[in-house]
Amino acid sequence: MAVHSASAFAHCFPFDPAHGMGLTELLAVAPPEPPEGFADFWSARRRRAMAVDPAPRLADRRRLDDLGLDLFDCAYTSTGGVTIHGWFLRPATGPVTRGLVIGHGYGGRDGPDLDMTLPETALLFPCLRGLSRSALPGMSSDPQWHVLHDIHDRDRYVLGGCVDDAWLAVSALLALEPVVAGRIGWSGRSFGGGIGALMLPWEERVDRAELVWPTFGHHALRLGLPMTGSGAAVAAYEARHGDVMSTLAWYDAAAAARFVRRPVLAGLSLFDPAVPPPGQFAIYNALAGDKELVTFAAGHFDYREESAQESRRLGRARSFFGDP
């Protein structure tokens, strides 16, 4: 066990998950420049996704009396004919005035996050393709293999399909609750934060977003940093095969963040073995619109103050999404 002064956390990792950087250094991390044609690539991808009718289907209604909500199993159609499964919640009585799509981490999800319920809000919790309820034949649900699926092909890479699923989650929510048009938010943690940063610049129907510990930021930088999880799998693939940046440059959440001009609440960690903090802060530093930072002492790591810091983040998020 070792203690690193940058974080004051005892840990067993063979590297420093703070990477020797404090808040001042992290706020100075410069985001990468997008490749030429980046905006055209993503705008064309979104146009293709918007040609799909998600045709959302609800089933198995359950009343959550203690929360005053109705919970449904939900399914909708995404690009390539993929069916995306998840959960949909709406107030059991009274009006719906706002919508919220909530992404998930790379571990997927077993159910809706009931901590994120808000008054007069309809919530959609999709499981993006290949993960949890949306598992697919021939695609591993293990993050270390899922993240490599078709990584050799820019146009077929799985993260592009996951961004399609996120856009079409917004379409599905609007089909279910048209009244929320103009008042839709996205909240995503880790994997869901990175996907959110990639989908947000081209999604004018989302008026604000929360990104917590967002991944996929500044690939060229993070591939040179030690880490665990899906990022380590990508780094190992690059070491074996090379040329991974010919795809990843197009899926860089920090490059995409340069095009985001809507309000963003960012929850970023100063110590994180799975998602290097410099990559997280590259996303935040690139954001071109109104932004607010909430810091965590650590991400993807258990520590004593974790519950209190998560409660602080949750309180700010509820206010952020509840604002008119």
Phi, psi angles (nearest 5°) of residue 81: 75, 15
Q: Closest Cα to residue 15, out of 273, 224, 220?
A: 273
The two three-digit tokens of residue 151, written as one number: 């990584």
Q: What is the pLDDT of residues 146-156, one digit of tens each?
A: 999 999 999 99
Q: pLDDT at position 8, please?
A: 62
Q: What is the pLDDT of residues 250-288, one digit of tens each?
A: 999 999 999 999 999 999 999 999 999 999 999 999 999
Q: In which band, very low, low, confident or very high, does the pLDDT at 10 lie, cut at 50, 70 and 90? A: confident
Report the distance separating Cα 84 and Cα 109, nearest Å. 13
Q: pLDDT at position 217, please?
A: 98
Instruction: Look up the domain containing 208 and give its range.
Output: 2-322
Q: Is 146 helix (H, G, I), strand (E, B) or coil?
A: helix
Sign of CA pseudo-dihedral 104, 255, 24, 273: positive
Report the distance separating Cα 206 and Cα 233, nearest Å. 31
Please give the average per-residue pLDDT across 50-73, as a whole number. Answer: 97
- Model confidence, pTM: 0.96
Question: Is 17 exposed, middle or buried (CB count within 10 Å of its CB: 0-12, 13-18, 19+)?
Answer: buried
Q: Is 89 helix (H, G, I), strand (E, B) or coil?
A: strand
Sign of CA pseudo-dihedral 8, 14, 20, 21: negative
The rounded percent of the chain whose pLDDT value lies above 70 is 97
**In the predicted structure, residue 324 carries a pLDDT above the cut 70:** no
Report the distance separating Cα 323 and Cα 169, nearest Å. 22
Domain count, the chain: 1
Q: In CATH, what number is assigned to the domain containing residue 24?
A: 3.40.50.1820
Report the distance separating Cα 79 and Cα 244, nearest Å. 24
For residue 189, list its beta bridge partners. Answer: 212
Q: In which band, very low, low, confident or very high, does the pLDDT at 7 lie, cut at 50, 70 and 90? A: low
Q: In which band, very low, low, confident or very high, does the pLDDT at 211 lie, cut at 50, 70 and 90? A: very high
Q: How high is the mean pLDDT of the chain?
A: 95
